[in-house]
Amino acid sequence: MLEMSLASNIIIALNTGSGKTHIAILRIKHELEREKFKLCWYVAPTVALCIQQHSVLSTFLPVFVGIISGSHHPDQWKNRDLWKAVVDSHRVIVSTPQVLFDSLRHGYIGLGKKVGLLIFDEAHHATDKHPCNLIMKEFYFALPLRPTEGDVSGVIGRPAIIGLSASLSYRSGDVERAFR
């Protein structure tokens, strides 16, 4: 699955405890080498899952991993300088979908300029008006395709996407369309 994620956007649908996060970590490590000036952004649907995944990623990645959620004094996240400081001091960020969506909407983060890999945990939520789906519709598809070869550092383009889910539901077709 790692090899597949290097070639195209994928949804990894495996049971809980079967290695989805491990594959994501391997892919993040690859992206950190490929995109030396871009972030890997890990989106988890709840603060509790953000905290859990931040702990796991911090343990297994050789870089600083930041965490941002609505529980981290949300008023302070309206400060452009704070966003710049966080982005400049981390290579991996874990956040809730709403935090990423709001930061994109306010122009604090440029998806194609600053993010090389975007991972959606619990990707089956990415339907209708969910922030994950809105990130894709409003920001991702507006970007040019990303180059697949050569030096890509600093190139503006669509980040690679990985969706993770242990429970793709009857609406999985909606999820797959969101990631195309």
Residue 72: which of 36, 99, 37 has the closest Cα? 99
Residue-level pLDDT, tens digit, the chain, 180 residues: 888 888 889 999 888 878 899 999 999 999 999 888 899 999 999 999 999 999 999 999 999 999 998 776 656 678 888 889 989 999 999 999 999 999 999 999 999 999 999 999 999 878 889 999 999 999 999 999 987 666 666 778 999 999 999 886 645 455 555 555
Q: Residue 136 to residues 7, 21, 152, 158: CA-CA distances in angstroms?
A: 19, 21, 21, 10
Give the C-alpha separation, 127 to 35, whole Å: 29
Domains observed in the chain: 2-178 (3.40.50.300)
Question: In the block, which residue shows the tokens 């892919």?
Answer: 27
